[in-house]
A and B are shown apart, each in its own frame.
Chain A
Amino acid sequence: MCLGIPARIVELRDGGMAVAEVGTVRQRVSLALLEGVQVGDFVIVHVGYALTRLDAHEAARTLEVLRAAS
């Protein structure tokens, strides 16, 4: 229930809706909680709503720091 799933926005639809892709699965999501979403953005989807953006750049940085530290 609290679980969120990382997904990529592949299509914007009317009425504040979008289509998001999780792996090969596509799902309709509401953008009511997130402004300025673009096709290609990564988001966390929860109960049919995009909750927040996932920053791919920041993700790469996190991994880089973890791999570098000894």
Chain B
Amino acid sequence: MSQLAGLPLIDEFRDGVLARKLAADIAREARSDREYHFMEFCGGHTHALCRYGLMELLPRHVRMVHGPGCPVCVLPMGRLQQAIDLAMKPNVILCAYGDLMRVPGKDRQSLLSAKARGAAVKLVLGSGEALRIARENPTKEVVFFAIGFETTTPTTAVALRAARDGGMTNFSVLCNHVLTPSALSAILASDQVKVDGVVGPGHVSTIIGSAPYERFGTEHHLPIVIAGFEPIDLLASILMLVRQVNEGRHEVENQFTRAVNREGNVLAQKLVDETLMLRDSFEWRGLGAIAASALKVRPAFAAWDAEVKFSLEDQVVKDHPACACGDILRGVKRPTDCKIFATACTPDHPMGACMVSPEGSCSAYFLYGRGRQSAPQERAS
């Protein structure tokens, strides 16, 4: 019995009988004279696909392409290095999400290794904890290393507002928030991967709503289905995509109606807009520089902007030459295509972010044993 038993919003969406029925529907409706390439944008979806063995339930000609929706994975090493450098300053406490601690940066340094060398690095569960640490340490400069897609951004906005309202002078944010639709555009524009439809990110969409994806239907003729994170959600969404392709439709459909609507969370959007603004351009690991794809702190909140406070410069740090994270994030390669997957690179000794992050594709393949067997998609090719 799962720990979450009794929650109708979880257990029933893991129903094996319904899952097999949906898989049978997909197998019946997917035409055998063509292939279907669907990208799941979000790393949470990649993990659910691997964890529940859902790709094994799909017919061979329905292939999943893993997208770049892992916030830790797309963070370029130069930005990570800024945080490591800040953490090494004697008066700074750097607060970071746990997922970031072991990500290898320049010369395989990490926040964790910086901590071992005496840097004050604190693992936090969220921005609220970083604020508390700042209040408890008035003589220290507390920097919150803010990363994430639209799901996480509003929680940074709340902290910026709280810092201003509380007149805090020892708290600042190193802002690395990135935008889902911009990354999707960049991947579609690159022509490196073939995508017939997109499983849209469910949690991001609780905040931004389904409306921002509508242009992909009109401009790129791309079907999108916004999906929840349980096995039934994913299979139902893949079936909806198969049907859109078969019928020549390219719409934004919402499978995750229990959490997502067209408008999103307007209160959260307002908070983000009040505190943060678009950057002209931002460097993504794997995807390169993308115009209007990330947010920075607004000048009105400059007193809480770590980039301003510490006069930070952009840094360029190259990825480990053997690491294929970049290609994996673009959907061009799969984790098992990387030469050092599960050999020189494991969760205990990660060479790239995709192996560290709980949402990274390499970690999903490693954890759920996909490295030891070839995926059905690959067998078919």
Contacts and interface: CB of A to CB of B under 8 A. Distances in A.
Contacts of B147: 1
B7 A44 contact: no
Nearest to B151: A2
A60 B7 CA distance: 12
Contact of B232 (A47, A53, A63): A63
B9 A54 contact: yes
Interface in A51-70: 51-56, 58-63, 66-67, 69
B158 interface: yes
Contacts of B207: 51-52
A27 to B, nearest CB: 9
Contact of A66 (B70, B149, B232): B232
A65 to B, nearest CB: 9
Contacts of B15: 63
A39 interface: no
Nearest to B100: A1
A65 B287 CA distance: 39
B337 interface: no
B265 A2 contact: no
A59 B9 contact: yes
A16 B206 CA distance: 20
Interface residues of A, number: 36
Dominant secondary structure at the B interface? mixed
A46 B21 CA distance: 31
Contacts, number: 138
Contacts of B204: 2
B9 A63 contact: no
Contacts of B259: 44, 52-55
Contacts of A6: 4, 7, 9-10
A51 B358 contact: no
Interface stretch (B57-65, B111-119, B120-128, B277-285): B120-128
A53 B257 CA distance: 11
Contacts of B314: none
A66 B9 CA distance: 15
Nearest to B149: A2
Contacts of A67: 18, 21
B18 to A, nearest CB: 6
A51 to B, nearest CB: 5
Nearest to B203: A4
B13 interface: yes
A59 B258 contact: yes
Interface in B23-48: 25, 42-44
A46 B267 contact: no
B128 A3 contact: no
Interface in B1-26: 2-5, 7-10, 12-13, 15, 18, 21-22, 25
6 contacts: A1-B357, A1-B359, A32-B158, A52-B259, A59-B9, A62-B236
